Amino acid sequence: MGFRIVVDRDLCQGHGTCEGEAPDLFEVGKDKQVEVLDEHPGDDQRKAAELAVKYCPTHALSIIDEA
Ligand code: SF4
């Protein structure tokens, strides 16, 4: 089962905590908007993605499990 990463851009404030936790998945640009580098990562990135979701200060990230 794979998963997908979703960003609520209304909540994201560009703190970059997600990039610190999962640099292969997120990048925060100069415009303070997060870019998801891989929206359908492999399971080897699951732990890093979960940490990014957990520590995002504005709760802008979610993981959606896909069948
Ligand atoms: S940690 Fe959250 S608020 Fe900060 S850039 Fe990432 S998604 Fe946006």
pLDDT in tens, 43-67: 999 999 999 999 999 999 999 999 7
In terms of Cβ atoms closer than 10 Å to its own Cβ (0-12, 13-18, 19+), residue 56 is buried
Number of domains in the chain: 1
pLDDT for 67 equals 79
61 Cβ closer than 6 Å to some ligand 1 atom: yes
Distances (CA, A) of 9 to 1, 2, 13, 17, 43: 26, 23, 8, 15, 24
To the question of pTM greater than 0.85 for the whole model, the response is: yes
Task: Give the pLDDT band (50/70/90) at residue 1.
Answer: confident
Answer whether residue 11 shows pLDDT above 80.
yes
60 Cβ closer than 6 Å to some ligand 1 atom: yes
Q: Which residue puts its alpha carbon closest to atom 8 of ligand 1?
A: 12
Q: Which residue puts its alpha carbon closest to atom 2 of ligand 1?
A: 56
Ligand 1: centre distance to CA 2 (Å): 22
CATH number for 38: 3.30.70.20
Domain that holds residue 46: 2-66
Angstrom distance (rounded) from CA 31 to CA 45: 26
